[in-house]
Amino acid sequence: MARMKFLCDAERCIECNACVTACKNEHEVPWGVNRRRVVTINDGKPGERSISVACMHCSDAPCMAVCPVDVFYQTDQGVVLHNKDLCIGCGYCFYACPFGAPQFPQASNFGSRGKMDKCTFCAGGPEKDFSDAEFKKYGRNRLAEGKLPLCAEMCSTKALLAGDGDQVSNIYRERVVARGFGSGAWGWSRAYPGQGA
C-alpha cells in the first residue's frame, strides 16, 4: 500500500463545511481547535474556488524537522502522528507547517498554549487502539476499524478524497480525463502556466 494521502478537488468543493463539522463531531474536538477548515479564494468573484485543508501528512514533514522534543512519528502507511505526552506546546510546528495544521487549545505564549492538536487521518495516536485514552487525546481511530477518514467518506460531492495515494491519484486522473480540461486542481495554472486552466 502506498502512503495515505488527502486530495481536495477544487472543481467539486462547494464550501459546505460538512467535512469540518464531521471532523469536530467524530473526534469531539474542543472549542477553538479546528483540525480541518475550508479555504475560499476569490470569494464572490469569477473564478471562486474552495479547498478543504488539514494536515497533509507530508512525506518530509517540516513539523517533524523542527520539533525540539521529537513528538512526531510516521506510521507504516505514512500518516504523520504525534504523541501529546511529549509535547511541550512550544508552537514551532505551527510556524513550520505551510498548511497551518497544528492547533493549540489556548492562545498564549511559549509553553502555555497547551498540547498541540492536529488531524490524525482518523488514525488515533500511540495509545492502545480503541482505548479511552486514545479517544480522549486523539479522537476516534477509524483506520483501525477498516474505515477511511470521515471528512472524506461523508463528502457529498466527493471533492475530498482520502486513502491510498495510488488509488487517490487514479480516481483523480479519471476525473481529469472525463472533464477534458486542465487538472481542475487548485494552483494548477500557477504551477503549469500556459497549459490550460
Count of Cβ atoms closer than 10 Å to residue 121 Cβ: 27
Distance CA 168, CA 184 (A): 15
Position 143 contacts other proteins (CB under 8 A)? yes
Q: How many residues line the site for other proteins (CB under 8 A)?
A: 37
Instruction: Look at residue 78 and give its three-state secondary structure.
Output: coil
Position 129 contacts other proteins (CB under 8 A)? yes
Position 1 contacts other proteins (CB under 8 A)? yes
Cβ(21)–Cβ(135) under 8 Å? no
Per CB under 8 A, which of residues 13..32 are in contact with other proteins? none
Helix and strand numbers (H, E) in the chain are 7, 6
Question: Which span sits near other proteins by CB under 8 A: 25-33, 34-42, 75-83, 101-109?
Answer: 75-83
Q: Report the nearest approach of other proteins to the CB of residue 103 (Å).
A: 20
Per CB under 8 A, which of residues 144..173 are in contact with other proteins? 144-148, 152-153, 158, 161-164, 167-168, 170-171
Query: Which cell goes with 31?
Result: 472549542
**Using CA atoms in the order 182, 183, 187, 193, what is the torsion angle rounded to 10 degrees?**
-30
Distance CA 18, CA 147 (A): 18
β partners of residue 4: 164
Question: Which span sits near other proteins by CB under 8 A: 25-33, 48-56, 102-110, 143-151?
Answer: 143-151
Position 77 contacts other proteins (CB under 8 A)? yes
Position 71 contacts other proteins (CB under 8 A)? yes
> Which residues make up the interface to other proteins (CB under 8 A)?
1, 70-73, 75-77, 81, 83, 85-86, 123-129, 143-148, 152-153, 158, 161-164, 167-168, 170-171, 174
